[in-house]
């Protein structure tokens, strides 16, 4: 039996069914990993700079800092402490 069998790549999806594909990507922050929200730092209406800490995610006992890809004002934080998030899920929206 062969041990090195190549499997076909999973099809990439633009967005989950709950998230429309017409999102302005320059105004959102997506999850870099699937995991659990440990701490939300940013708040709606807060003014932030590029690379400011928005929240901390945990996956497999490792914490990942999620930083802002843009500077400006936070429009909405779409998750709360303790929420499970999926890869590429929208975590924050910016004005």
Which CATH number characterizes residue 55's domain?
Answer: 2.40.50.100
- How many independent structural domains does the chain possess? 1
pLDDT at 54 over 60: yes
C-alpha to C-alpha distance for 54 and 31, rounded to whole angstroms? 11
2 lies in a domain? no
* Domain membership flag for residue 49: yes
Q: Give the domain range for residue 68.
A: 25-94
pLDDT at position 22 = 83
Q: Look at residue 5 and tell me if it is in a domain.
A: no
Q: Is residue 1 part of a domain?
A: no
Q: Is residue 75 one of the residues assigned to a domain?
A: yes
Is 54 contained in some domain? yes
Residue 3 has pLDDT above 60, yes or no: no
What pLDDT does residue 23 have?
86
């Amino acid at each position: 039996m062969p041990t090195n069998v190549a499997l076909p790549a999973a099809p990439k999806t633009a967005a989950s069914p709950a998230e429309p594909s017409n999102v302005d990507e320059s105004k959102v922050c997506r999850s870099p990993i699937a995991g659990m929200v440990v701490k939300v730092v940013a708040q709606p209406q807060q003014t932030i700079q590029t690379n400011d800490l928005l929240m901390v995610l945990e996956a497999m006992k490792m914490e990942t800092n999620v930083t802002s890809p843009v500077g400006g004002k936070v429009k909405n934080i779409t998750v709360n402490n303790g929420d499970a998030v999926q890869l590429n899920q929208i975590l924050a929206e910016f004005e």
